[in-house]
Amino acid sequence: MTVTPTPPGAGRVLLYSEDRAGLTALLVSHAVAATALFAAACTLDPFMRRSFAVAALLAAAIAATGVWGISSLTVLRFIWPVGIRIDSAGIRIGGLRARERRQRSGRWPPRKPFHVSTQGRAVFTCPWEGVQALYLIRSRAELKPLLQQYRAFRKKFQQLRRPLGMLNANRAALVIVNSPALAYSDPGTFRGDWARPGAATGVASPTWLVPTRHPEALLAALARVPRAPLVHDHLPPGESFRFYDGLGTHRAD
């Protein structure tokens, strides 16, 4: 069974909206600090000519801050667009605000598919009849079993299968167990990542993960949806989460 995507805003009563759901002060401070230190280290180039020891020290500082800056900015770029919408029809996660803005200007869908590595720019939608379970987890430590299973899945398939809808979370997060036959993404196709162009395949995942900065407000909104399942505050001990079941796959171009 498949569900025809409902046009955004059609027949929906919005109950909860959150943008920049994964943004934290720590993440922003890391990106700013790393970039500033890298720029400062690069401006000290004249001192590198004074002695070999000074040159080696500054070269190491430039390399270290460069790697730190690139990794911080990469995470920030991935998590920046991610948001959440809860309404009477279902739940939506991903780059909602950007899509709404681009729809108003007639620039959606994008001309090129998004990279699998930046899937947070896409929008993942699941109607309530396709939502099987919800878990609102308050810390990364409690998410550890799920994240370990996710890493094991990626390792098993040598990073070539990327579960769609698994958006990074540092603290509080909503875990959505869904039926891929009912859920869908917009856009529906993705490109391979930069590391292995054309090799990675985006696959529809029965498990979604989305960060939240306001777990209490999100929980209150979910409680107002009669069709939403009960929200659990802990992952079931020993639960085995699935990230691919062969249904509704999206192959990278």
H or E element at residue 135:
strand 131-137
The per-residue pLDDT for 200 is 76
Q: Assign 3-class secondary structure to 88-116.
A: CCEEEEECHHHHHHHHHCCCCCCCCCEEH
Alpha helices, DSSP H, located in the chain: 25-43, 52-79, 96-104, 140-156, 215-223
The per-residue pLDDT for 5 is 44
d(CA 91, CA 231): 13
d(CA 210, CA 167): 5
Answer yes or no: are the C-beta atoms of 115 and 191 closer than 8 Å: yes
pTM for the model: 0.81
Query: Under DSSP, is residue 138 helix (H, G, I), strand (E, B) or coil?
Result: coil
- pLDDT tens, N- to C-terminus, the chain (253 residues): 233 344 444 567 999 999 999 877 666 665 577 677 667 767 766 655 566 676 677 677 767 776 766 666 666 678 889 999 999 999 999 999 999 999 999 999 999 999 888 899 999 999 999 999 999 999 989 999 999 999 999 999 887 889 999 998 878 999 999 999 999 999 998 887 655 555 678 899 999 999 999 999 999 999 999 999 999 999 999 999 999 977 544 444 3
d(CA 241, CA 218): 23
Answer yes or no: are the C-beta atoms of 124 and 179 closer than 8 Å: no
d(CA 122, CA 99): 8
The per-residue pLDDT for 158 is 80
- 185 by Cβ neighbours in 10 Å (0-12 / 13-18 / 19+) ranks as buried
Answer yes or no: are the C-beta atoms of 12 and 91 closer than 8 Å: no
Around 213, how many Cα atoms within 13 Å sit in the side-chain half-sphere?
15
- 192 by Cβ neighbours in 10 Å (0-12 / 13-18 / 19+) ranks as buried
Q: Which residues contact 52 (CB under 8 A, 6 or more apart)?
A: none
The per-residue pLDDT for 51 is 66
199 token code pair:
């090799």
Q: Which residues contact 232 (CB under 8 A, 6 or more apart)?
A: 133, 134, 135, 136
The per-residue pLDDT for 117 is 84
Q: Which residues contact 203 (CB under 8 A, 6 or more apart)?
A: 161, 162, 163, 164, 243, 244, 249, 250
Determine the Cα angle at 77 with ends 149 and 119, to 5°.
55
Cα 216 to the center of its chain, rounded Å: 20
Tokens 């917009």 correspond to what residue?
186
